Structures are given as structure tokens and as C-alpha cells.
Structure 1
């Protein structure tokens, strides 16, 4: 059977039982038919029922052929890999897809926060945000010059979001800052716009 996932005590094999489909439908908000469709595609691409980091990066790079996607992909992969197993099982994949596909910006921002909180301590420090900004610049092939540098972007983000001035962003500061500032939302969580 598979690893523990975001659902407590939920184990998942390569084949789905009807109970699995119902539980995944409830967790993800997708219809049972859509769950089966996603599962079929996932197993076709990942016959072992697991998506490893190498395969994930290989697939993701296709969307950014001119950029350097590896670093950014590592952060996305870590956010998808809820149980830190080093692979993404179908449940983790489906939950991540459901979050990125839904309309509610707050859920997308919560997921974005989990990607930026590299050390998973519940806060985004400047050094973490700098790593992410470097990865975004690499991914998009952005030129680093003048006022367009990762460090300046980090400084702008923190000056707008770090409302208590403690040098780190809580989940609440991050979400609130993104919801109140279109520029920051587009920069940090484009799918939440």
C-alpha cells in the first residue's frame, strides 16, 4: 500500500476501491468520475503509484523550456510531498491539483505559503523568500539588474507584508498581504489572482 498522506490514516494503493474514490472525492471536491480520470492518468504516467522528484522536474520543465526550472520545481515538489517521503502519491497529487484548480484564493495562498516555508517552521524568513525569488528569476529567465533583483523583490515583499516587523512572515501576514495587494498576489501566487 501507499504512504500516509494528508488524510490521517489514509493508505492508497495503485488501484482504487470504491471507498477510496468516495474518500478522495470528499477530500478533493472532485466528482468520483474525475477522481477515477485523474487516477488513470497518474498511474499511466507513474506505474508504481509514486511520482519521484526527478520525474516531477522532467514533466514540469516542459512548461518552461527556456528557463531553469529545477530549483523552483524542488520547492513545488516539497509542498506537494506532504509526508516528506521523497515521492508524491496519488492522494497528495490530487489534493495539490484540487487546491491549485479551485477558485478560492485563500486556499491557493495557504498552499503557496507551504511552498515558501522551506524549513516548515510556520514562518517565511527572508533567506527562504530569497531562495524562492532566485528560483523564480531562473525559471522565468529574468535578468537581474537595476531594481529587478531577487533581493530587492524580497525587501519589497517584507516591507509590505511584515506588519509586526519581526523579520519573518506568518501565514496570516502572507495571506493577508497577498489578498490586500494585487502586485504581491500576482508575484507570489499567480494562480490565486
Structure 2
């Protein structure tokens, strides 16, 4: 995902061509997205505060901040602290496309907080906590993040190394509708 060209307020012909190729959107669609992005972000950059503000509107009854941190980090592929138009467009194209495998690979990159190529239980627990907060879920009894993480790992960790590779995560989600809906709702 980190292959998008940096794009500011102007969209050069080479940027347009490259973003169209990377995203699968037509050049006209890229122009439309760019125009809308600049209306919302006149500086050509989306900072974390604004991102959280916008994202919270979709989850008015939950606490979106923690989850937004993970989503923002995944979109901010160059770790600049801002999402530029190229990063935004590529992220939108991945979340909007029909291929569940690509969506699950993107979800994996969000769950792999330390970006070491694996999801450890502590990372999954942080994300589960954030998902529970986002959805306003109770964290009591058997319906708590720790139990959910144990269930997930018992189903997905095929080689029992206490971490999930991208392949284990993607294949585990593809093989289990419940896990896919929980871990990557947009990949159904």
C-alpha cells in the first residue's frame, strides 16, 4: 500500500496516471476524489485530529478514538502524521473493491501494529479493545476482548507459534464467516 505517489493540492498528469493505475479508478474518478479531498482538506493533507473527527460521525454511540488511531496509521503509509491524497485514494480503493482477500490483507496491515509481518496476541487484544469501544460492546463475562483473542488464535494459528502470519489471518477469515465479519466487516 505504500506505493502511492505523494500528491498535494495539484494533480500532475503523471500523478493522475499512476493513481489511476494503482487504485483501479478512472482518471476522471481520481480527479473527482481529488476535488472532494481538497474541499475537506484544503491543505492537501488530512491530519489525525480531522480524521478522527470525521470517523466519529459514523459511530456516534461508540468511542472511536482508539480504533481511529489504528485505521489512521494504516492509511498513513509513509508515517508522516498526515494522510495525503495518494494514501487516501489507495486506502479507499482497497476498502471499496470487491476482492475480499485484498480487504483482508489491508485489515492485516491494520492489526500488525508493530509492522513486523505478524499479529501477536497483544496486538490483537489492543484492536479488539478498540473495536469493543467503537461498537459500545460490554467487556464482561465470556464476551470480552481477551476471550475473543483466544478464540481467534485457536482457530487461526495453524502452526501454534502464538502469532498470526498474513496467510494464517487471511485464510482464517476466508474460512470462517463469523471471524471475517468480526475482524474485517467490509470484506464480506
- Which band: TM-score by shorter chain? over 0.9
Deviation of 1:91 after TM superposition, in Å, equals 0.3
Specify every segment of 5 or more residues in structure 2 that has no aligned partner in the other structure, as ranges: none
In structure 2, the residue matched to 1:14 is 9
Alignment of 1:76-87 (within 5 A): 76-87=71-82
Runs of 4+, deviation exceeding 2 Å = 5-8, 10-13
Q: TM-score, normalised by structure 2?
A: 0.97
- The residue that corresponds to 1:177 in the other structure is 172
Displacement after TM superposition at 1:12 (Å): 2.2
Within 2, Cα distance between the matches of 1:184 and 1:17? Answer: 42
Distance across 1 between alignment mates of 2:27 and 2:42: 21
Root mean square deviation, CA, Å:
1.1
- Structure 1, unaligned stretches of length 5 or more? none
Alignment of 1:56-95 (within 5 A): 56-95=51-90
Q: When the two structures are aligned, how many residues end up with a matched partner?
A: 188
Output the CA distance in 1 between the equivalents of 2:41 and 2:7: 14
TM-score normalised by structure 1 residue count: 0.95
Q: Which residue of 1 aligns with 2:152?
A: 157
Aligned equivalents of 2:127 and 2:8: distance in 1?
33
